[in-house]
Chain A
Amino acid sequence: MTLIDLANPTRFLALTARLLPWLAAATIILLAIGLYQSATAPDDYQQGATVKIMFIHVPNAWLSMFVWGVMSIASLGTLVWRHPLADVAAKAAAPIGAAFTFLALLTGSLWGRPMWGTYWEWDARLTSVLILFLMYLGLMALWRAVDEPSRAARAAAVLTLVGAINLPIIKFSVDWWNTLHQPASVMRMGGSSLDRSFLIPLLVMAIAFTLLFVTLHIAAMRNEILRRRVRSLQMMQASRVAFSEVGTGSREGSTSKEVGAA
């Protein structure tokens, strides 16, 4: 089973229908374990109980960037390999990524209130994540602005790739501009600075959130495929109604091709 075998939407639907319950079950189990471990993790000597926001905040922040990476790969799939499901994947990922980014901002601001004494600070990390959020919203606006999916797909793919190049630049420029957020502490040279009692729940939560994303993404892709099928069926029906009196068969050819593509 290679990636190209999944190019057939029907095969993709059949495979994911079998896969999805398992993924959902794994997500729920891991989330339950992660949440339990986070709840029973000791309080921080400095931050008290508020440190537990970290177990939600950090996975969301990781995923906000991970989803853009997934979308970039899907965009390469659209532009380079012309994989028929690549634009479905890119389109389905954008709202999920925007939601993770929004949650990262929200939990971060709730965490910032007791720790820094403010909900919002024009700090480097916060600002760059906010820009990432704006770019997700712009991408979603682009998808919604055009009614023809294949045309919107190529435009969105170009924009996603430009964004992928630009996001590190924005990140570094904003870093240089101003900073308050703590530097990275889990993955850095010379091992993690987090204590083991925090690190393990955090990693479990990160894996659980990644699985959650995969589950939601596959479900959203299935919905998108079905939505496109409904759309082309409706168009076929409309053209049949419109052309039934005239009796020309020329429109049918083009619409049935579209059903095949969907």
Chain B
Amino acid sequence: MTALSALIRRDIRIALRVGGGALIGVLFFLTVVVLMPFAVGPDLALLSRLGPAILWLGALLASLLTLDRLFMADHEDGSLDLITMSRTPLELACAAKALAHWLAAGLPLIVATPVLGLLLNLDMVATGAVALTLLAGTPALTFTGMIGAALAVTLHRGGLLMAVLVLPLSIPVLIFGVAASQAAIVGPMTFGAPFSILCALSLVSLVIGPFAAAASLKHGLD
């Protein structure tokens, strides 16, 4: 347990310091959202209607962008080999790393959501709904994206290939995330049903993600 908490602390510290690049995700999120009014026009009514979808897409892309670093930096300096060989099960170590990554790169996205909601003319309820769904949904993005990150590090190929592999897997999260936000804003559905499915998706990926990532690291690293 201490090993895992040490791993989490170490990862967060590395991510937040110079060269970590966790906060670049927030900057990317901001840039994507700012780009949107240029594409669809500065129509506030339209923006507030599209708002939840824009925020979700931005968060999805931002969390995908930062995932590249999840195993790559550790692989480059050799600490990934130590983690693989340590007595802590690799599945738990992967889960700890993903949790640390979510705390360092995912949580800032949610904190930034109210500000971006202001830019998109979302009211309090809508912003709260989007932030809540992001809080429930981004762990799923991180934990499924971790599989892609593990594949990328074993294949020495990152970037586009990883995006192509991971994005189709994140479609359910996107569907239910946006559906729950829309349900809270305009109805007529209840917020509870899509939101609980979103939570279920996060829990499922919490289980599948570490096992798949650990399997691909175990078989792929040599």
Contacts of A154 on B, CB cut-off 8 Å?
Answer: 154, 216, 219-220
Overall SS of chain B's interface: helix
Asked if A177 contacts B175 (CB within 8 A), the reply is yes
Asked if B151 contacts A146 (CB within 8 A), the reply is no
* A154-B216, A161-B212, A177-B179 known; A142 vs B151 contact (CB < 8 Å): yes
Asked if B147 contacts A174 (CB within 8 A), the reply is no
Q: Most chain-B CB neighbours within 10 Å: which of A138, A174, A176?
A: A138
Complex alpha-carbon distance, A161 and B209, angstroms:
12
Q: Would you give the shortest CB distance from A30 to chain B, in whole angstroms?
A: 34
Asked if A173 contacts B219 (CB within 8 A), the reply is no
Smallest CB gap from B178: residue in A? A177
Asked if A79 contacts B219 (CB within 8 A), the reply is yes
Among the listed A158, A166, A174, which residue makes an inter-chain contact with B216, where contact means beta carbons less than 8 Å apart? A158
B47 within 8 A of A: no
Asked if A155 contacts B154 (CB within 8 A), the reply is yes
Total A-B pairs in contact (CB under 8 Å)? 78
Q: Which of A165-183 contact B (CB under 8 A)?
A: 165-166, 169-170, 173-174, 176-177
Q: Would you give the shortest CB distance from B149 to chain A, in whole angstroms?
A: 12
Interface residue count for A (Cβ, 8 Å)? 28
* A159-B147, A170-B168 known; A142 vs B154 contact (CB < 8 Å): no
Chain A residues with CB under 8 Å of chain B are 79, 131, 134-135, 137-138, 141-142, 145-146, 151-152, 154-155, 157-159, 161-163, 165-166, 169-170, 173-174, 176-177
Chain B residues with CB under 8 Å of chain A are 144, 147, 150-151, 154-155, 157, 161, 164-165, 168-169, 171-172, 175-176, 179, 197, 201, 204, 208, 212, 215-216, 219-220
